[in-house]
């Protein structure tokens, strides 16, 4: 009996030791499950890649599957595996410096070993395991990228096989030091297999990130991830594909039809308030919720758009408070700041278009987990860009008309202003008679009262400046309407943009 108790105690202690030595976590999505395990005694990390629970993919329908160690595809060491028609399994370690097909890495930082004893592929499903030496310092969270392709390379060569583009991809984090492995998972290392006796409840996902979003993994978090991505897409696309183009088209067209400046508050509200606010919101959502730096074209353009938008808003406000005279200033009052604002506005719209394009082509597939976007999105993008360019360039057809109306307005304003300093300037050269500015429109009783009052104003005597027949015309009086020109304005309005 004493020996029996001693044997039981030894077995219990051994089981506790095994349980403590093997830790890890599992992450699953609709395409694959990744089970990461860490053996602290053997200093080995083991990963198992397989279809999600309840999904069976036979060998003739299985393409390839991979994980990488990092936050993005660029410069992350990858382990890519696929089954072959003869039942064997190929493991290939690769790396890339861009969003292109990765090349074989002959000197990976950690050499992966296929665990043939725990890997299989048959007519029902496929499960592939491999091990790597543990890193010198395992942290609580390990950054992983993943990808799944549904087209098999068709070759067992790990170095010469060509990979088709992935169907879906994303990134996540798992904790190799967590005690949250499913009870049915087996731990494998160095081609040996030992059952894990972990009593923790099975977990279907890892804490960290899914498709780039920070936070824990659960069905509700996956919904939250989708909502965050949609919020980013909606804010950015509305600003760059709708409001910004409309905001530059309105002033370009309206100034060719009227000198009325109704377009100015509309332009300011659309581009300076609404579009700028949405760009800031889209940038903030992405920065707060998605991992990685500005390492892709979409992210670099997004940062550029954010910075240029701030500068553009300041340039739009500045001329209305500070417009120094400059030798390059035109007769219409437009200076270098005005022209810089116009040119930078076109650059901002172009950068916005590019940001959306690379978001569709490069980022959506990676972070949505839904595969490539429908081709209709790119067609719609092309239509918006084409229509915007045609309408804006067509607006230059109205430029001569705009300049002519602006010139006539300046000429009229100059005559009204000069008539007080030089009354002779309002004398018609053809008839040698005074030509007053057009009188204001009669608006009823108020105008009659004003007329009656004006007739009793004691005006200083002025020398007649012209005669027409026997009638003497004073420079400040229209004898037919008793019209008195208004005083000149104290300052000119800001020059039109």
Residue 159 vs residue 390, higher pLDDT: 390
Give residue 489's pLDDT. Answer: 55
Return the percentage of the chain with pLDDT > 90, whole number: 26
The mean pLDDT of 439-468, rounded to a whole number, is 46
- Asked if the model's pLDDT at residue 199 lies above 60, the reply is no
Sheet containing 103-104, strands listed edge to edge, beginning at the edge strand earlier in sequence: 103-104, 89-95, 78-83, 64-69, 142-149, 168-174, 208-210, 213-215
For residues 231 and 237, what is the distance between their CA atoms, to the nearest angstrom?
Answer: 10
pLDDT tens digits, residue range 308-350? 999 999 988 877 666 666 666 666 666 677 788 889 999 999 9
- Provide the pLDDT for residue 372: 73
In this predicted structure, what is the pLDDT of residue 203?
38
pLDDT of 143:
87
302 vs 189 pLDDT, higher one: 302
Give the residue among 157, 154, 145 at the shortest CA–CA distance from 63. Answer: 154
> Mean pLDDT for the chain?
74
Max intra-chain CA distance, the chain: 146
Confidence of residue 354 (pLDDT cuts 50, 70, 90): very high
CATH architecture under which domain 221-328+336-402 falls: Up-down Bundle (1.20)
Return d(Cα 300, Cα 212) in angstroms, integer.
Answer: 17
Parts of the chain belonging to CATH 2.60.40.1210 = 20-216
Buried-state track 263-285, b at ≥16 Cβ within 10 A, e below 16: bbeebbebbbebbbebbebbbeb
* pLDDT 10s digits, 6-38: 565 555 555 555 445 788 888 888 788 999 998
Q: How confident is the model at residue 56, as a pLDDT?
A: 76
Mean pLDDT across 234-249: 95
Q: Determine how β-strand 120-121 pairs with β-strand 113-114.
A: unpaired
* pLDDT tens, position by position, 363-389: 887 677 566 788 899 999 999 999 999
pLDDT, mean of residues 454-473: 46
Q: How many residues does the chain have?
A: 497
CATH homologous superfamily of 20-216 equals: Cellobiose dehydrogenase, cytochrome domain (2.60.40.1210)
Strands of 340-459, DSSP E = none
122-131 pLDDT tens trace: 878 889 999 9
pLDDT at 468: 44
Query: Which string of b and e fits 189-222 if b means at least 16 CB within 10 Å?
Result: beeeeeebebeeeebebbbbbbbbbeeebeeebb
Residue 425 has pLDDT above 60, yes or no: no
Positions of CATH 1.20.120.1770 in the chain: 221-328+336-402
CA-to-CA distance for 91 and 128, rounded, in angstroms? 9
Q: What is the pLDDT of residue 47?
A: 94
């Amino acid at each position: 009996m004493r020996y029996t108790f001693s044997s039981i105690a030894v077995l219990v202690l051994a089981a506790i030791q095994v349980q403590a030595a093997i830790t890890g976590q599992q992450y699953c999505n609709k395409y694959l499950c990744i089970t990461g395990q860490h053996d602290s005694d053997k200093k080995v990390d083991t990963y198992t890649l397989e279809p999600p629970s309840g999904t069976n993919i036979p060998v003739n329908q299985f393409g390839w599957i991979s994980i990488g160690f990092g936050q993005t595809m660029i410069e992350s060491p990858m382990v890519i595996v696929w089954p072959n028609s003869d039942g064997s399994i190929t493991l290939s370690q690769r790396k890339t410096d861009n969003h292109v097909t990765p090349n074989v890495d002959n000197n990976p930082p950690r050499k992966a070993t296929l665990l043939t004893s725990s890997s299989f592929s048959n007519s029902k499903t496929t499960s592939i395991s491999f091990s790597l030496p543990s890193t010198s310092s395992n942290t609580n969270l390990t950054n992983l990228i993943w990808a799944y392709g549904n087209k098999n390379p068709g070759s067992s060569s790990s170095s010469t096989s060509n990979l088709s583009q992935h169907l879906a991809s994303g990134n996540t984090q798992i904790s190799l030091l967590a005690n949250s492995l499913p009870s049915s998972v087996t731990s494998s290392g160095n081609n040996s297999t030992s059952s894990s006796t972990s009593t923790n409840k099975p977990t279907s996902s890892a804490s960290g990130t899914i498709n780039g979003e920070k936070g824990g993994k659960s069905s509700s978090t996956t919904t939250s991830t989708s909502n965050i991505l949609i919020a980013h897409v909606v804010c950015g696309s509305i600003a760059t594909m709708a409001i910004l183009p409309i905001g530059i088209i309105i002033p370009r067209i309206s100034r060719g039809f009227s000198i009325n400046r109704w377009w100015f508050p509309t332009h300011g509200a659309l581009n300076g308030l609404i579009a700028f606010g949405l760009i800031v919101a889209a940038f903030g959502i992405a920065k707060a919720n998605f991992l990685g730096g500005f390492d892709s074209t979409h992210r670099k353009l997004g940062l550029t758009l954010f910075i240029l938008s701030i500068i553009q808003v300041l340039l739009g406000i500045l001329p209305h408070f500070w417009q120094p005279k400059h030798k390059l200033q035109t007769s219409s009052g437009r200076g270098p700041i005005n022209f810089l604002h116009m040119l930078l506005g076109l650059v901002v719209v172009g950068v916005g278009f590019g940001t959306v394009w690379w978001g569709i082509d490069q980022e959506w597939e990676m972070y949505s987990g839904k595969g490539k976007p429908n081709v209709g999105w790119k067609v719609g993008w092309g239509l918006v860009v084409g229509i915007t360019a045609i309408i804006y360039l067509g607006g230059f057809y109205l430029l001569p008309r705009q300049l002519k109306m602006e010139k006539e307005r300046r000429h009229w304003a100059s005559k009204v202003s000069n008539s007080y300093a030089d009354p002779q300037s309002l004398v018609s050269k053809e008839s040698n008679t005074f030509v007053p500015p057009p009188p204001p429109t009669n608006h009823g009783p108020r105008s009659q009262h004003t007329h009656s009052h004006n007739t009793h104003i004691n005006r200083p005597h002025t020398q007649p400046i012209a005669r027409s027949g026997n009638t003497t015309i004073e420079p400040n009086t229209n004898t037919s309407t008793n019209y008195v020109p208004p005083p000149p304005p104290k300052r000119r309005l800001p020059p039109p943009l």
